[in-house]
Structure 1
Amino acid sequence: MHIPDGFVSVPVAGATGIISAVMIGIALGRSRDAFGIRRAPVLGLTTAFIFAAQMINFPVAGGTSGHLLGGTLAAVILGSPWAGGICIATVLIIQAVLFADGGITALGANILNMAVVGVWVGWMLTQTLQQLLGSRKGRLPLSAGIAGGMSVVVAAIACAIELALSGTAKLNIVLPAMTGIHILIGIGEGIITGGVLTYLAKVRPDLLPTEQRKLRGFLVPVVATMLIAGVLSLFASAYPDGLEKVAENLGFIQLGENIRFSLPTPFADYTINGAEGIGTSIAGLVGATVCFAVAFAVAQMLKPKNA
């Protein structure tokens, strides 16, 4: 769902950029005392993991692929939608700047859709479902899985509205197209979100904010994240993602091809020219490392002096 340059108009890009900047600014302030931010390594690892997981596109119907958005997962692991928003925004900024994934001019729209709308919808639905299911810890993966899937659909609706406001496509056409394909992608989001949280609850409960346990170390999470970024990323589906497929079907894909403001980078499109395969692995490892370093640094800067 990464919107490239050219898909949204200048007014829409400007408005979403302002809204996203304000929301992330508030998130930075509100996260100063948030549980997740006080555990800087957890924020760093969560950010790196979501970056790595987003490299793995899984196939869905009609020659289309999808990947984890991770907003609900980040918010639940960090125990705060504010911290979750910082996590996803960090991933999106690094993807746009270092890997030319998502337009620089559309960065505000992407942050709004995935780091604000996706995170908050997933968080609020998770809390609501937890109350309906009795607030049991064992029900958290199910609640977050359902919420995660729904958050993808709502983020896709937000994206469709932005495209319509930009004059890129008519709302009555792009809205059902985006919603339909992202319902399928949302199923994958829900399965991944529920699966990760089930694993953490059973094997590493210390990484969850509901457990006030001393952190047991990070070797296994680090190794797992690097394996995903450096190895599993090689098996990602080559099918176009949901937004790209919709753009192809509705005939506005060329807008992203004609206008591109990517910064100079050796890792564009998650590879290195002349080194396909190993280039993807290197790009994944570099990206995951940079995501961890940036998120960890942000958490350290925000951490209260007495923490």
Structure 2
Amino acid sequence: MHIPDGFVSGSVAGATSLASVIALFIASGRSQAALGMRRAPILGLTTAFIFAAQMINFPVAGGTSGHLLGGTLAAIVLGSPWAGMLSIATVLIIQAVLFADGGITALGANIFNMAIVGVWVGWVLTQTLQRLFGGSKGRLPLAAGIASGISVVVAAIACAIELGLSGTAPIAIALPAMTGVHILIGVGEGLITGGVLTYLITARPDLLPGEQEEFKGWLVPVVSIFLIAGVLSLFASAWPDGLERVAGNLGFINLAENVRISVPTPFADYSIQGLGTIGTSIAGLLGAAVCFAIAFGIAKVVKPNNA
């Protein structure tokens, strides 16, 4: 669902950029309670994991692929939608600047859709479903899985509205097209989110908020991130993602080719020129490392004064 340059108008890009900047400024203050010294490494690991997981496109029906958005997962693992916003926004910024994944001019719209709408819809629905399911920790993966799937669809609806307001495609056509394909992608989002949380609850509760257990170490999380970014990413589906499929079907896919933003992207398309397959692995590993470093730095900057 990464909007490239050329898909949204200047006014829509400007409005969503302003909204995103204000929201992230607020999030940096509201995240303090969730990002003490103990949680700083968790923000880094969560952000790196989501970056790595987003490299893996999984196939859905009709020759279309999707990938994890991760907003619901980030908010739950970090115990705060505000911190979840910072995590997803960091991933999106790194993807746009270093990997040409999502347009520079559309960065505000992408942050708005995935780091704000996606995170908050997933968080609120998870809390609501948890109460309906009785509040037990064992029901959290189910609640979060359902909520995360719905959050993908709502983020897709926001994207469709932006395309309509930009004059890129009529809302009456873009809305059902985006909603339909992202319902299928949402199923994958829900399964991944539920599966990751099931693992954390049973094997690594120290990575979840509210737990008093000592941090059990870096080895398993770091190795997992490196395997996903460096190995599993090589098996990602080559089919176009949901937005690309809709753009192709509705005839506005070429708009992205008409815009040239002179920002160097050293790892465009998650590759390194001349290195072939190994270049994808190296690019993925470097991207995950950069995401971890920046997110860890953010945690240090916004931590509470008494942390």
TMscore range, shorter length:
over 0.9
Q: Do 2:35 and 2:302's aligned partners in 1 also have CA atoms closer than 8 Å? A: no
Verify: 1:95 aligned to 2:95, yes or no. yes
Q: Which runs of 5 or more residues in structure 1 are unaligned?
A: none
Task: Tell me how far apart the structure 2 counterparts of residues 274 and 133 of structure 1 sit (CA, whole Å).
Answer: 52
1:55 maps to which residue?
A: 55
Q: Do 1:272 and 1:280's aligned partners in 2 also have CA atoms closer than 8 Å? A: yes
TM-score, length of structure 1 as denominator length:
0.98
Q: Do 1:36 and 1:80's aligned partners in 2 also have CA atoms closer than 8 Å? A: no
2:244 maps to which residue?
A: 244
Q: How many residues align?
A: 307
1:28 maps to which residue?
A: 28
1:297 maps to which residue?
A: 297
Mapping 1:1-307, distance limit 5 Å:
1-35=1-35, 39-261=39-261, 263-307=263-307
Moved more, 56-65 or 203-212: 203-212
Shift of 1:212: 2.2
Shift of 1:38: 5.2
Shift of 1:266: 2.3
Q: Which runs of 5 or more residues in structure 2 are unaligned?
A: none
Task: Tell me how far apart the structure 2 counterparts of residues 208 and 182 of structure 1 sit (CA, whole Å).
Answer: 28
One-letter amino acid matched to 1:167? G
Q: Deviations over 1:69-126 (max 9, x none)?
A: 0000000000000000000000000000000100000000000000000000000000
TM-score, length of structure 2 as denominator length:
0.98
Shift of 1:33: 1.8
One-letter amino acid matched to 2:111? I
Identity, % of aligned positions: 76
Task: Tell me how far apart the structure 1 counterparts of residues 29 and 224 of structure 2 sit (CA, whole Å).
Answer: 31
One-letter amino acid matched to 1:229? A
What is the SS of the residue equivalent to 1:41?
Answer: helix
The Cα RMSD (Å) is 1.0
Task: Tell me how far apart the structure 1 counterparts of residues 100 and 223 of structure 2 sit (CA, whole Å).
Answer: 26
Task: Tell me how far apart the structure 2 counterparts of residues 305 and 123 of structure 1 sit (CA, whole Å).
Answer: 26
User: Residues 271 and 98 from structure 1, CA distance in 2 versus in 1: closer, same or farther, beyond 3 angstroms?
Assistant: same
One-letter amino acid matched to 1:143? A
